[in-house]
Structure 1
Amino acid sequence: MKAPRALSRLSALMSTLALCIGLSTPANAQSAFSPAVFVGEKVVTYFEIEQRTLLLALMKFPGDPRKEARKQLVDERLQLMAAERMGIAPSEGGMDAALKSFAERLNMEPAQLIEALANEGVEEETLRAFLYARISWQGVVQTRFGSSVAVTEDEINRAIASNTGAGGVNVLLSEIVIPVTPQTAEQVQSLALQLSQINNQGDFEEAAKTYSQAATREDGGRLNWISITKLPPQLRPVLMALGPGDVTDPIPLPNAMAVFMMRGKRETSMPAPNYSAIEYAAYMIPGGYSEDALKTAAEMKDRVDTCDDLYGEAYGKPENVLVREALAPGKLPRDYALELAKLDEGEVSTALTRPTSDGGQALVFLMMCGRTAELKEETVSREDVAQSLRGQRLMSFADGYLEQLRAETTIVQK
């Protein structure tokens, strides 16, 4: 049986990709197997980065495949060190099952997939290493946190209501959002854990004014009433489980850590719609939170009324200065999703930053273009909801633990 034509036609794409992202060994490396990154006592080689870059490109993984490859491989070294300390390693049968499952997603047999990847220059060991790290990390997370993840019937009821729009639930939240860099990860994690222990609104508001980077900091982190269905799907069950005055555990965001306090919760007479897609535009302004960047953003706010207007702002500038796309709520970057939840169509947030290729920061001029409501509700089983809640909590624990491992390990990029 031949491999699917969609994968076999990728030769031309990969030839172009090789020219665009430079798949040859870096000039300053002695060989393809020279260390590109030191992660504690482990290394990531240039060869591994090249191989993972090819694999991610073939998988159509979002973002820059080379940057994502390097990041994934560093994270996997941290994850595998944790697995080794706990004596966790996938069995041969577990690896075979994972390979079979991965191939089935592409409507292929494992042997077909391996052959198709080999035709594009990706070695079998590259795919197996990719799967090995994921299975190992799942074992670490399940062993370390599985027993502490429990879901109550009330939480399941709230989650079903929040995900279907039943009851029209609105929430009144306060937020603290603290930027994170590799140098401050450990301190921010420790601070966020302390802030999550706050048990009164006055102290939370003072902490928001002191530590938060969100636009709400001057108001003590206070947000207005918002429909639960506008918030990221991953956070709805967590927030719906809170009572008045309760504070979440630290929640990892891209480049930040957040905690939320529930100030109030109410039901409205009309159910709120679920959304199948959120359309946004993100315009990158060099300089991060600098005075010049904030001034530029303020001037742009006066000039633009819709997302279409941003095309004029981006004219003649590099292609990556403006991103406009419509994504399912669960596919949005979590920090984008939180900011967009606060916005109506045509409104703008300038609370976020993104790193630039030269090591600097860009201020994100984030505009809400529109929301697409779902045409019908899907029925969900209680067991599916319970599994989703447990999975989300495990993911939150896993993200926090990985940040801790990163902060505790010396990582040297070549």
Structure 2
Amino acid sequence: MTLKRLATLTAIGLVLSPVLGPVLGPVAAIAQENLFAPRLIVNDRAITNYELQQRIQFLKLLRAPGDAEEAAMDALIEDRLRLQAAEAEGIEVTEEQLVAGLTEFASRANLSAQEFTKAIGEVGVAPETFRDFVEAGIVWREVVRKRYAGSARPTPAEIDRAIANMNRTAAVRVLLSEIIIPAEPGREAEALAFARQLQSQISSEGGFAAAAREYSASPSGQRGGGIDWLPLANLPPALGPLVLTLSPGQVSDPLPLPNAVAIFQLRAIEETSEPAPNGVEVDYASIALPNDADALQTAARLTAETDSCDDLYTAAKGVPIQRETRAMGQVPQDVGLELARLDPGETSATLVSGAARRFLMLCSRTPVMDPPPSRNDIGQQLLNQKLAGLADGYLADLRANAIIRQP
């Protein structure tokens, strides 16, 4: 089980498979030779057959793509060059840095360094192979920082340009029509089948509007099911992706709701100038009214006497009020659909469940946004990008100027 977790690792420069299959086959050509004999010389520093065999096994364990022997030899050559560059700069890795690097790498598989070392040892990879792999990465990072960190630091103008060029996904708003088909307890399958029948039969906006007037239990049915423009983020999370699969004029698959089934027709869709939020949080109040002849009159009175949710506590005259603040994904879908079409202070008394009619008021709606990155964060990102490019160029120069030969 530990080895399966190892296969989720992402090593430096490698794209790895998330599933660990058969791992280590024999490296026959190498095994027949003297393991500790030099295989290649890099600036008078040997790479042994043993090191090559070990790196091949390590890369196979990590499910590195491509030819394992070729990738292992390339990696070992570059590691030799990195270590030689560090030696020239007088840079050494401390034991504390090495332990931190081993720990960080192993944590990518949710293992401690000791657990990781034990797991790879079970398939023949020596602890020294892991240490050498990590050490080369650490020492190279220090070399690059020493050589380039000062000159690569981005200027204020570069940070300003990066901020100006940041792409944020534009928010989307949609124009929908709806048909809400009641689904009494025990008759949900019948309602779903009828919704599917309507979906298959409707081929135009006019046809949808006619069906809404005849079959929809929503007040919008009287106007052909039409709903005003809505920000996509206001919709229940189950509905938003469903809508995005539609082209204008298309009808959605049925969406089960508590005590109902809904189908929607997309009439139009457009981007806005606002950035798209990650989600929406709603603060809303709910009152369960007896579903009798006076229910709608009571709802109308509450609407007339209130401008905000705070006013409800006076207007309701002792009737229990349930007030909640939730992410839209945590709101029941039927309630979420009603709230989606309300502005703060507006009300709905459409939903009926058994002997109760639910009176809803939207108190507030708050977009949930990722905090924008700070100038320091952007500056660090630009610095890292520059350092990565300079590091690649420096390593290419080292390799071009190296004497790499057979023993």
TM-score normalised by structure 2 residue count: 0.48
* Structure with greater Cα Rg: 2
